[in-house]
């Protein structure tokens, strides 16, 4: 039905361009709010240094923002170019949040960001403050709608299959909007963005303190970053836990894989801190467990069991069998769309249809699939346990590290002991890349853990791709890698250069030109 190489290339391209896009997004999310906080302080205190702070961090924000916008375009287009069948099959539901993102969020941030940079001398302080907050609001709303779309892929609610159009159609948009998975993901992702922005400001300011430059500037920046970062890092872990809780309800298989939990354990389940999963024999060859912990996180109770992989596979095998009935009914309906019996069967077993589609890997004749094929298809619903298990643990460890880092920063700010803590300042400086690492790991867990599905339980990944040639796919993938790598190098170079030159370089000519501007007015 589908050339697997094209699918692999499409997945690779999506992964590469999404991870690349997410190098820019978290900093936009976090820094936009930090700019808002700084400029609000300027508005209240009227001290010019806060205006300079806003402007300087704004320069770094701008270098990053433009790339986020440009690479975001790729993400939207990619559903049409590389995932055409996906676009057809779920566009009725999935397209709406993307379009509303454009209407409500992207336009807002992108229109106001120009005025943020160019409008300082063209409007009142209050008007400019409004502009800055509109940029922050737009960025954050943008994340909301994208995560509503993404949340629906993880936990598809409010949609039903329509055999007349051969696709999923919206049945309850309210459910799509208030999808608990989407809400939890939204809070988790924006908190991660706030951590990224805070640690960026903290680390760069630490660099200035270490080199004894721009001390006032750096200390004020750290005050904002430490307070905001502490709240954000607590939120990202606590609400990441919320995300685990909703995943447990909706995506049991992902949780079981992330935890390396092959068999259902008596409640409350233990949490594997360390394990070596063995996918061949469906067990862990080594594990260290904290009793009770997983049961508490995942079910918020001590009596409910967390189902293991082996048990979930058995459930999914039944789903494949149900799906075969739905699939057979669909074939009848294609010839005779009014057949009442087939309509009723499809209605009854609709939830399994996606599971039956997993069989397309093994046979063209799905209604007559053998028991062996069905068992294989059921086992295909288990994602790769080993990489998920470990990336998840690295992410969590980093999350906990951030809480510690910001707590210390906050304490040093309150005690006014930043200057003497060179060890801490160095740690903060070298920690700058870590939030990016944890964000990328988080996306890996979320999306790789969703496999083998494009849309959980509805559309297998291997069916979602466009019917393209591998040569076209290689061409585009190669082009993206070259273009994106070059731009990233340029971006990093300019970022580092701007930071090294520092605000003193940036404001010299600005201050010199102020009388001229005043005269011109």
113-152 residues near other proteins, rule: CB under 8 A: 113-115, 117-120, 122-123, 134
Which residues partner with 459 through β-bridges?
455
Q: Which of 15, 16, 18, 104 binds other proteins (CB under 8 A)?
A: 104
Closest separation in Å from C-beta 179 to other proteins: 15
Under the criterion CB under 8 A, does residue 415 sit at the interface with other proteins? no
Report d(CA 328, CA 352) in Å as an integer.
12
Query: Closest Cα partner for 99 from 57, 142, 129?
Result: 142
Query: Closest Cα partner for 63 from 493, 508, 509, 432?
Result: 493
Under the criterion CB under 8 A, does residue 367 sit at the interface with other proteins? no
Q: Which of 15, 49, 69, 227 binds other proteins (CB under 8 A)?
A: 69
SS (H, E, C) 140-184: HHHHHHHHHHHHHHHCCCCEEEECCCCEEEECCHHHHHCCHHHHH
Report d(CA 177, CA 227) in Å as an integer.
31
Which tokens sit at 441? Answer: 């790991």
Question: What would you measure as the largest C-alpha separation in the chain, in angstroms?
Answer: 86
Which residues partner with 168 through β-bridges?
161
Under the criterion CB under 8 A, does residue 440 sit at the interface with other proteins? no
Under the criterion CB under 8 A, does residue 16 sit at the interface with other proteins? no
Under the criterion CB under 8 A, does residue 79 sit at the interface with other proteins? yes
- Residue number with CB closer to other proteins (240 or 457): 457
Q: How many CA atoms lie within 13 A of 128 on its CB side?
A: 22
Under the criterion CB under 8 A, does residue 76 sit at the interface with other proteins? yes
Under the criterion CB under 8 A, does residue 498 sit at the interface with other proteins? yes
Which tokens sit at 159? Answer: 């949609």
Q: Which stretch binds other proteins (CB under 8 A): 43-51, 73-81, 347-355, 412-420?
A: 73-81
- Residue number with CB closer to other proteins (116 or 262): 116
Q: Which of 32, 54, 74, 181 binds other proteins (CB under 8 A)?
A: 74
Which residues partner with 170 through β-bridges?
159
Q: Which stretch binds other proteins (CB under 8 A): 44-52, 268-276, 421-429, 487-495?
A: 487-495
Q: Please give the C-alpha separations between residue 258 and each of 42, 58, 127, 377, in angstroms, as whole numbers.
A: 46, 38, 48, 20
Q: Which of 106, 194, 349, 355 binds other proteins (CB under 8 A)?
A: 106
Under the criterion CB under 8 A, does residue 51 sit at the interface with other proteins? no
Closest separation in Å from C-beta 58 to other proteins: 9
Q: Which of 62, 367, 387, 452 binds other proteins (CB under 8 A)?
A: 62
Q: Please give the C-alpha separations between residue 509 and each of 7, 114, 160, 170, in angstroms, as whole numbers.
A: 53, 21, 61, 56
Q: Which stretch binds other proteins (CB under 8 A): 228-236, 242-250, 300-308, 494-502?
A: 494-502
Q: Which stretch binds other proteins (CB under 8 A): 168-176, 308-316, 343-351, 422-430?
A: 168-176
Under the criterion CB under 8 A, does residue 506 sit at the interface with other proteins? yes
């Amino acid at each position: 039905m589908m050339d697997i190489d094209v699918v692999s290339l499409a997945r690779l391209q999506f992964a590469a361009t999404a991870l690349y896009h997410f190098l820019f997004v978290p900093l936009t999310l976090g820094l936009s709010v930090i700019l808002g906080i700084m400029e609000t302080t300027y508005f209240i205190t009227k001290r010019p240094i806060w205006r300079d702070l806003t402007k300087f961090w704004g320069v770094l924000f701008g270098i990053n923002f433009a790339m986020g916008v440009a690479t975001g375009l790729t993400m939207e287009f990619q559903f049409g170019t590389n995932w055409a069948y996906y676009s057809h099959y779920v566009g009725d539901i999935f397209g709406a949040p993307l379009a509303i993102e454009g209407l409500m969020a992207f336009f807002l941030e992108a229109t106001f960001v120009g005025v943020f940079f160019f409008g300082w001398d063209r409007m009142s302080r209050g008007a400019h403050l409004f502009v800055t907050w509109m940029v922050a609001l737009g960025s954050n709303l943008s994340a909301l709608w994208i995560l509503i779309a993404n949340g629906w892929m993880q936990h598809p609610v409010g949609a039903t299959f329509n055999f007349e159009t051969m696709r999923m159609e919206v049945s309850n948009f309210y459910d799509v909007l208030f999808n608990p998975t989407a809400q939890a993901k939204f809070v988790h992702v924006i908190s991660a963005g706030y951590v990224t922005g805070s640690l960026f400001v903290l680390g760069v300011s630490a660099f200035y303190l270490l080199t004894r430059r721009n001390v006032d500037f750096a200390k004020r920046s750290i005050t904002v970053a430490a307070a905001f970062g502490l709240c954000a890092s607590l939120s990202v872990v606590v609400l990441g836990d919320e995300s685990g809780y909703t995943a447990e309800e909706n995506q049991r298989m992902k949780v079981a894989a992330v935890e390396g939990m092959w068999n259902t354990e008596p409640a409350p389940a233990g949490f594997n801190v360390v394990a070596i999963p063995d996918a061949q024999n469906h067990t862990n060859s080594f594990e260290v467990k904290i009793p009770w912990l997983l049961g508490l996180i995942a079910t918020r109770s001590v009596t409910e069991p967390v189902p293991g992989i082996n048990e979930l596979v058995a459930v999914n095998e039944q789903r494949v069998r149900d799906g075969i009935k739905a699939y057979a009914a669909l074939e009848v309906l294609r010839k005779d769309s009014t057949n009442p019996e087939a309509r009723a069967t499809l209605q009854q077993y609709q939830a399994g249809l996606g599971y039956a589609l997993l069989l397309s890997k093994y046979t063209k004749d799905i209604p007559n699939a053998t028991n062996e094929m069905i068992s294989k298809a059921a086992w295909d619903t288990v994602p790769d346990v080993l990489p998920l298990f470990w990336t998840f643990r690295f992410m969590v460890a980093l999350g906990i590290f951030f809480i510690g880092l910001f707590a210390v920063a906050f304490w040093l700010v309150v005690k006014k002991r930043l200057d003497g803590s060179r060890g801490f300042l160095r740690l903060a400086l070298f920690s700058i890349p870590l939030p990016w690492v944890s964000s990328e790991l988080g996306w890996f867990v979320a999306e790789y853990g969703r496999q083998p599905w494009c849309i959980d339980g509805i559309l297998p990944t291997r069916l979602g791709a466009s019917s393209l040639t591998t040569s076209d796919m290689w061409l585009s993938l190669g082009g993206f890698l070259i273009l994106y790598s070059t731009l990233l190098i340029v971006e990093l170079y300019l970022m580092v250069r701007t930071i090294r030159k520092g605000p003193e370089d940036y404001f010299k000519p600005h201050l010199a030109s102020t009388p001229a501007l005043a005269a011109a007015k």
